[in-house]
Amino acid sequence: GENVEQHPSTLSVQEGDSAVIKCTYSDSASNYFPWYKQELGKGPQLIIDIRSNVGEKKDQRIAVTLNKTAKHFSLHITETQPEDSAVYFCAASDRAGGFKTIFGAGTRLFVKA
């Protein structure tokens, strides 16, 4: 079945450094790739997304890249801050397939002050 692999599972960086989280998806029909940030005890919040007709998207300190051929997409956070510490989930979905979203296993990001 469809699968989304996410790496690393844990990432620790110093404040101000960059953080990169990578995901790979298996379903070639996937055409929408959101990233969610989940803080402890809360629901996931969408932070950025990218569609299959775009290779890169940036929003302030956050950027996402997509390589459709390799079925890879990545989240880049620059100038990390302690408040960026959270669990980040990548996901892939196929809108034509009933909007079913497959989530990665999550990356726990620690930003040390």
Q: Which residues neighbour 84 within 8 Å (Cβ) at sequence distance 6 or greater? A: 19, 77, 109, 111
* Contact call for residue 66 and other proteins (CB under 8 A): no
Of 53, 60, 69, 98, the one binding other proteins by CB under 8 A: 98
| d(C-alpha 58, C-alpha 96), whole Å | 26
- Does residue 95 belong to the site contacting other proteins (CB under 8 A)? yes
Q: Which of 32, 52, 72, 78 binds other proteins (CB under 8 A)?
A: 32
Residues between 72 and 91 that touch other proteins (CB under 8 A) = 89
Residue type, 78: T
Q: Using an 8 Å Cβ cutoff, are 73 and 87 in contact?
A: no
Strand-pair partners of 14: 112
User: Residue 62 or 78: which CB sits closer to other proteins?
Assistant: 62
CA distance 83 to 112: 10
Q: Does 3 bind other proteins (CB under 8 A)?
A: no
Contact residues toward other proteins (CB under 8 A) are 32, 34, 36, 41-46, 49, 89, 93, 95, 98-101, 103-106, 108
